Amino acid sequence: MTDQPLVKMRDVWLEGRSDELWNPIINGVDLTLQKGEVLGLIGESGAGKSTLGLAAMGYTRDGVRISKGSVEFDGIDLLTASAAVKRELLGKRIAYVAQSAAASFNPAHKLMDQHVEGPVQHGVMGRGDSEADGIELYRKLRLPNPDEIGFRYPHQVSGGQLQRCMTAMAMSCRPDLIIFDEPTTALDVTTQIEVLASIRDIVEQFDTAAIYITHDLAVVAQMADTIKVLLKGDEVETADTRTMLSAPTQEYTKSLWAVRSFERPLKPAVQTGAVPVVSVQNVDASYGTVPVLHDVSFDMHEGRTVAVVGESGSGKSTTARCITGLLPPKAGQILVNGEVMPPDYRKRNKDQLRQVQMIYQMADTALNPRMSIGQIIARPVEFYLGLKGRERRKRVDSLLEQIELEPSQYYHRLPSELSGGQKQRIGIARALAAEPKFIICDEVTSALDQLVAEGILRLLARLQDELSLSYMFITHDLATVRAIADEVVVMKDGRVVEQGPKKDMFKPPHHAYTDLLLSSVPEMDPDWLTNLLNERGVDNIGDAAVDKM
């Protein structure tokens, strides 16, 4: 009993149903997890990591089945166990933390009512004890006001706190195994670090085994004892974290590790007196009566990339909306090539609209699902340049070639038939079709896997060199900034707190906020989180530190 592994999955094959066929998702993967061990599952989206994680609970989503193999939890075969046996295990000895806590909590009930449900239903403890224990767990997870937070509704609590509440809920029965499914992916870096620290703490304290699913290598390096890499349903390799980071054996793993090495050469400083392509001058803006931007000013020059960084709510995207004219500023002005733009996009003429193009974060919602790729790209070509018939087709084909997609193959496809990275390329092509000099890239890589994201960044860099485009690159990922930016603008609470060339920004001394942002980005070093916590103390990371500013 003692040396028996907690989870033993042998030769597990999973299949998903689509178009009336069973397609393989996981092809014969083994997984062994000892008591108290943390296993990191990494891979691109579609690699089957979530499906495998759920299969470790003996559970499959609708339309997915386990076609072969065995799943044992503490000696109990989960695939043949009866519903009654499983009911005893799930929630009590095995718990699950989903990616989006906001979507997983029932908005109609208070947090504590949802927290106690597990222990009370499973008969672990009574309601009173369970509530007291909940408060204790909230305290351990370093939630603010642990005595009161449980009596709030989910919408009254921030995303990072909600994610910790969900971890507390998973802990409520003191399970032997918790499955974390990308618990920090949707969070800002400064919030993520808090959640990571508290999850790691509590897992260590109760000696809980965990399967940690993520696509972020730096995160998994902090959390896991062992890492398993998946690619398209196949296991690539498994090794303990330090070995995996220092000496990956497989090509695919190496390529994952190498992604972050992409960096563009520095460009010479801008000549003084050059007219900026776009100039934002003393812009104030508000939504209704709520002010969101205060005196924002910065310039963007030809052939250069300005990265605008900051956490969500800092006003990055609002600045973009002011430039495009979707949100007319209350004060200040936008200049394009030295010409003052009308504040409202409806007042701008066709040529003014053409000069400012935008690429969106979610390629899914940025492309009309009912239009073919050809139609999507052809529309701006026809609208702005007046090309028709064969000429239009030729232009669309050349644009598709520019974004490295074969025209004959993609022209008639619908967006739903494309992968995430390809969709984002179509978004780029649509922006290029207007032949602009300036493109706003709003978090264009944040919804993509790292390898795909790198491809997009390289494409954008190449296009910039060829067409001498200027980019305003909105992001919260500092690795992306390091890769592509020439200048950096740091925003917080609707103000520009620091701006300058990239080489100065990544060197101290910084503004305190820039420093915090920089230090919150996880690094590949497995000791990074430990060192950071030792250096700063648990109360000086993440949102707590932001609030102190």
Partner 1 sequence: MILWAVIALVGMGALAWVFRFAGQSVTGNAPKFRDMPYGVAFGYVLGAAVLLWLVWAYTQGRSSDQAIANKFFFLRIAIEGFIIFAVAAWLFRILGRSLGTAWSKKMFRSMPLTASFGILTIIIYAIFAIFAGAIAPYGQEQIIPGVAANIVPGGDPALGGNPEFYFGTDQIGRDILSRLIYGAQNTVGIAFATTLLAFFIGGTLGFLAATLGGWLDQILSRLVDVLMAIPSLIFALLLMTIASVWAPQLGIPLTVFMVIIIAVIDSTRVYRLARAVGQNIVVMDYIEAAKLRGEGLGYLVFKEILPNATAPLLAEFGLRFCFVFLTIAALSFLGVGIQPPLADWGTMVRDLGGFVNYAQFAPLAATAPLLAAGAIALLTVAVNFVVDWMLHKSSGLKE
- Name the site residues for partner 1 (rule: CB under 8 A): 17-18, 20, 62-63, 80, 82-84, 324-326, 345, 348, 350, 353, 356, 358, 360, 362, 365-371, 379-380, 383-384, 430, 434
- Which is closer to partner 1, CB of 62 or CB of 147? 62
To partner 1, the closest distance from the beta carbon of 88 in angstroms equals: 13
Cα–Cα distance between 487 and 299 in angstroms, integer?
10
To partner 1, the closest distance from the beta carbon of 254 in angstroms equals: 36
- Which is closer to partner 1, CB of 42 or CB of 89? 89
- Which is closer to partner 1, CB of 403 or CB of 529? 403
- Which is closer to partner 1, CB of 91 or CB of 325? 325
Pick from 214, 197, 224: nearest CA to 256: 214
- Which is closer to partner 1, CB of 357 or CB of 480? 357
Helices 111-121 and 127-140: crossing angle, nearest 10°? Answer: 120
Cis peptide before 509, with omega less than 30 degrees from 0? yes
- Which is closer to partner 1, CB of 202 or CB of 353? 353
Contacts with 83 (C-beta within 8 Å, 6 or more apart), sequence order? none
To partner 1, the closest distance from the beta carbon of 340 in angstroms equals: 18
Q: Across the chain, which distance is largest between two alpha carbons, in Å?
A: 77
Strands 487-492 vs 64-73: parallel, antiparallel or unpaired: unpaired
Using CB atoms within 10 Å of the CB of residue 69, give its burial: 0 to 12 exposed, 13 to 18 middle, 19+ buried: middle
To partner 1, the closest distance from the beta carbon of 291 in angstroms equals: 23
- Which is closer to partner 1, CB of 1 or CB of 83? 83
Cα–Cα distance between 134 and 442 in angstroms, integer?
39
To partner 1, the closest distance from the beta carbon of 521 in angstroms equals: 27
- Which is closer to partner 1, CB of 91 or CB of 436? 436
Structural tokens at position 118: 């597990």
| H or E element in which residue 8 lies | strand 7-18
Query: Cβ(165)–Cβ(124) under 8 Å?
Result: no
Beta bridge partners of 406: none
- Which is closer to partner 1, CB of 172 or CB of 470? 470
Cα–Cα distance between 105 and 74 in angstroms, integer?
29
Provide Rg for the chain, Cα atoms. 25
- Which is closer to partner 1, CB of 115 or CB of 348? 348
To partner 1, the closest distance from the beta carbon of 496 in angstroms equals: 24
To partner 1, the closest distance from the beta carbon of 324 in angstroms equals: 6
Query: Cβ(440)–Cβ(336) under 8 Å?
Result: no
Helices 127-140 and 159-171: crossing angle, nearest 10°? Answer: 130
To partner 1, the closest distance from the beta carbon of 248 in angstroms equals: 37
Contacts with 131 (C-beta within 8 Å, 6 or more apart), sequence order? 112, 115, 116, 150
- Residue 35 three-state SS: coil
To partner 1, the closest distance from the beta carbon of 28 in angstroms equals: 23
Cα–Cα distance between 377 and 153 in angstroms, integer?
45
Query: Cβ(119)–Cβ(184) under 8 Å?
Result: no
- Which is closer to partner 1, CB of 211 or CB of 366? 366
To partner 1, the closest distance from the beta carbon of 387 in angstroms equals: 15
Structural tokens at position 405: 């997609």
Cα–Cα distance between 261 and 255 in angstroms, integer?
10
Helices 420-433 and 373-385: crossing angle, nearest 10°? Answer: 10
Phi and psi for 184 in degrees, rounded to 5?
-115, 5
